[in-house]
Amino acid sequence: MTEESSQPVHAQKATSLRERAFFTAFISILFALAVNGALFLLDQGLSILLSPHEWRGILLSLGLILSGAAVIATTGLLWLAALQSLRLAWKMEKEGQVARGTVFKKFLRQNGSKRFYHIVYGLDSNTHFNERILESEYQRLNVGDAINLRVLPGHPDIARLEK
């Protein structure tokens, strides 16, 4: 007999397509700007490397080349993650199905004078999602209430509140 964990898994909350599209556009702009700067570093590094210099010039050029490559690689990975997130949101819009979930917990987070209203919800007691909601929704919902969720078929760990 195996013992199951009593702690629920906090799964991924799929965000709206519009939110992901704006985020991906922002990351795309950052990626383009970073690649522009990185190409400048690569160009400077290659220029120094190809001209006759002492060992310090070679080290400087290698540093510029490695920095440019690191900027492209890092921002490229961030851009790919944003594209993957956009793909997931698109898939959720096209293939997501509405299911009945349950509110498991309500809580309030406060940061100075700002209040943030949260609920924890899910399809079952094994997978929970934590989402910040409007105060009016927070006041309307109670623990145990049934709510509509949009879930991705075959992926019960990906869901969001259905508005």
Write the CA distances from 49 to 38, 41, 68, 70, 136, integer angstroms: 16, 12, 14, 18, 63
**Smallest Cα–Cα separation from 131: which of 146, 141, 117?**
117
Is 8 contained in some domain?
Answer: no
Domain shared by 84 and 20, yes or no:
yes
pLDDT band at 1 (very low <50, low <70, confident <90, very high): very low
Residue 139 is assigned to a structural domain of this protein: yes
What's the domain range around 65?
13-94
Q: Of 6 and 95, which is predicted with more confidence?
A: 95
Say whether pLDDT at 153 is over 50: yes
Whether 65 and 77 map to the same domain: the answer is yes
Cα distance between the two ends of the chain: 41
**Total domains in the fold of the chain:** 2
In a shared domain, residues 76 and 30: yes
Confidence of residue 18 (pLDDT cuts 50, 70, 90): confident
Report the C-alpha gap between 125 and 75 in whole angstroms.
38
Give the model's pLDDT for residue 8.
55
User: What's the pLDDT score for residue 67?
Assistant: 95
Domain boundary among 57, 78, 94: 94
